[in-house]
Amino acid sequence: VVASLPRHSSPAGRTSRGAQQRLKKMAGLQAPSWQLLEQAEAMEFQLCDQLENPVALAQYLTNCCQQLMLYLIEDRLEDARFLWRRTIAVRDSSPQLQMVWSVGRWLWKRNNIPEALRLLTESPWDESLAPLAEHAVHSIRQRELAVTGRVYATIPLASVASQLLLSEEEALEACRRCGWTYDAESSEIRPKPLVDAEDRFDGLKQLDQLTKIVTQLTTEWGAHQVPRRRLAFGQTVVPVPPHRARLLGWKLGDGSGVAAE
C-alpha cells in the first residue's frame, strides 16, 4: 500500500511518489520477482483510473512494461496476454511495451524461443527494463533446459546451443551444470530430468508442462510432414521419433516414426 502523505497532496501526487519508489525498486531487482510482480499489479490498479494525468500515464506505462516483463520471467503467459489487452488504449504510445510483448508473443507461440531470446538480448531496453530483460533471459533458458531434460534421451549439442541462443561452449557448460553427460564422439548431450521439488505438481501446472513437451516435439518433427489422422475412440497419431515414443510410454504406429497416444 502506498505510504500516507500530507492531506494537501493530490491523489495523483500520492500515487506518483509511491509509484516512483516502486519503479526504482523493480528496476534494481531488489526483491524476488514474484514479490515485485505483486507490487506491480497493485500499482496498475492504483494508476489505471488516472490516465488523464500525464505523470500518472507515464508511470502507468513504465509499470506495465515492468509488469509484463515480470510475467515473462514467472512464465505467466496467460496473465501477460490479459495485461497486453488491458493496455489497448495507451500501448501505441510506448515502444518499450510493444517490444516486451514482441518477446511475449514468441514465448506464447513456442515455435521460436531463440527469437524471443534474441529480442531480449539485442533490443534497446531503457534503464527500468534492462535488468528485468537480463533476468528474463536466464529464466527462459532455465525453463528450456527443464523441458529438454524431460523430452530428450539424446540431443545434439548444436540443437541445445541454437535453442538457448548460446555458443556450443556456453551450451555445454550449461548442460554440465544440470548434471548432463556429453558424448564427444557423437557431439550429443544425454539429458535427464532436472531435480526440483517444485516440479512435483498436478492439475493445471501439469497440463501446462505436458503442452510444452508436446509443442517441443511437434515443432521439431513437424518439418517431416508426417500426416496426422484421427483413430477410433479418440486416439490420435502424431509425428514422434520411435525412441521418444517409448520414453513417453506411447505405442508405435506403422513404423514410420508415428506414435499413437
Output the nine-digit C-alpha cell for 53: 494525468
pLDDT(82) > 50: yes
Rounded CA-CA distance 47/61 in Å is 10
pLDDT(207) > 70: no
Over residues 143-174, the pLDDT tens digits come to: 999 999 999 999 999 999 999 999 999 999 99
Over residues 132-145, the pLDDT tens digits come to: 999 999 999 999 99
The answer to whether 120 touches 138, Cβ cutoff 8 Å, is no
Over residues 188-198, the pLDDT tens digits come to: 999 999 876 45
DSSP 3-state of 72: helix
- Is the pTM above the cut of 0.85? no
81 membership: H or E segment, kind and range: helix 77-86
The answer to whether 151 touches 159, Cβ cutoff 8 Å, is no
End-to-end CA distance of the chain: 50
Mean pLDDT, the chain, as a whole number? 78
What is the pLDDT, as a whole number, of residue 163? 95
Residue with cell 514465448: 107
